[in-house]
Amino acid sequence: MLEAEADGLRELARARAIRVPAPVACGDASGVAFLALEWLEFSGGGRDAVLGAGLAQLHRTTAPAHGWHRDNTIGTTPQDNAWTGDWATFFRDRRIAPQLALAAGKGHGGRLQRDGQRLLAAIPALLAGHAPVPSLVHGDLWAGNAARLASGEPVIFDPAVHFGDREADLAMTELFGGFGTSFYAAYSEAWPLAPGYATRRTLYNLYHVLNHLNLFGGGYRAQAETMIASLLASHG
């Protein structure tokens, strides 16, 4: 898991769009795995226009297909990044389906699984006509994974890197909040989002809500069920 995280940080650094802490060493000592990173002194804020413009630049780094050269994790949950040419297929089979299967294994059945299976069948239609270029994405971009240096330079870290729809990064910034209006304005000025983003935002954030259900339980099941119902209603 930590080796994949270090590899993800190096992938982000190669884009030369947003500062990331450089991996120093990764290994194990006395049976305990470790990842040592460059020390960076953070100041307050950092989720503003400079980061928005930088994120749009990061997303300009593309690949021929969706996925990555290795699997990694979202939190501690395994994340399948096998290369896939079609975005709807990738998101259905590599993102939502594994989370639903994991939830079933943890005893979350009933409405979640019944409607979840309907959603899997509907994802190609929900994403019909939307063929995003495979962009380099952070993959876990909530406010706790972004900061800035005293110089004002933004920094991102703790990624779940892959090449996918850039909108998925934007969607997660809205899931828990913490990003200023200037962040979104600067991103939109650099690279506007396509029509239909509001529906896709719910679909993309469902992945993270299901992951939180699998990691933490609690009220995330009801939230996931509500999101699935909304998506099914929009599909008709």
pTM of structure:
0.96
pLDDT band at 55 (very low <50, low <70, confident <90, very high): very high
Catalytic residue among 115, 140, 158, 165: 140
Answer whether residue 218 shows pLDDT above 90. Answer: no
CA 215 to CA 41: how far, in whole Å?
A: 30
Confidence band of 61 (pLDDT split at 50, 70, 90): very high
Alpha-carbon distance 185 to 213, whole Å?
31
Question: Which own/partner contact pairs does 120-124 have at CB distance under 8 Å and 24+ positions apart?
Answer: 120/92, 120/96, 122/231, 122/232, 122/235, 123/88, 123/91, 123/92, 123/96, 123/203, 124/88, 124/89, 124/92
pLDDT tens digits for 138-189? 999 999 999 999 999 999 999 999 999 999 999 999 999 999 999 999 999 9
Q: Is 140 a catalytic residue?
A: yes
The predicted-structure confidence for 112-129, as pLDDT tens digits, reads as follows 999 999 999 999 999 999
Neighbours of 49 (CB within 10 A): 18
How high is the pLDDT of residue 44?
A: 77
Domains defined for the chain, CATH in brackets: 2-235 (3.90.1200.10)
Q: How confident is the model at residue 221 (pLDDT cuts 50, 70, 90)?
A: very high
pLDDT more than 90, % of the chain:
96
